[in-house]
């Protein structure tokens, strides 16, 4: 059997489910948190002060 040479084709991008993308984005923001490092440090400090009282 003789085959023809391979033909380059453009790969289709898989359609991403918008709800899944939204869930993944929410999960990432919950892990890292929003805001700058300074804002995150202030939030952490407030949390520690709240637990102390």
Q: Which pLDDT score is estimated for 53?
A: 66
Summarised one tens digit per residue, pLDDT across range 14-28 is 888 999 999 998 988
pTM given for the model: 0.39
Q: Using CA atoms, how far apart are residues 12 and 9, in angstroms rounded to an integer?
A: 9
Show the low-confidence residues of the chain (pLDDT under 70).
33, 53
SS3 letters for the chain? CCCCCCCCCCCCCCCCCHHHHHHHHHHHHHHHCCCCHHHHHHHHHHHHHHHHC
pLDDT at 21: 94
DSSP annotation of 7: -
* Average pLDDT value for the chain: 85
CA distance 22 to 24: 5
pLDDT value of residue 1: 79
């Amino acid at each position: 059997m003789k085959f023809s040479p391979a033909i380059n084709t453009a790969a289709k991008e898989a359609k991403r489910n918008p709800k899944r993308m939204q869930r993944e984005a929410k999960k990432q923001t919950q892990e890292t948190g929003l805001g700058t490092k300074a804002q995150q440090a202030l939030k952490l400090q407030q949390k520690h002060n709240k637990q102390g009282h």
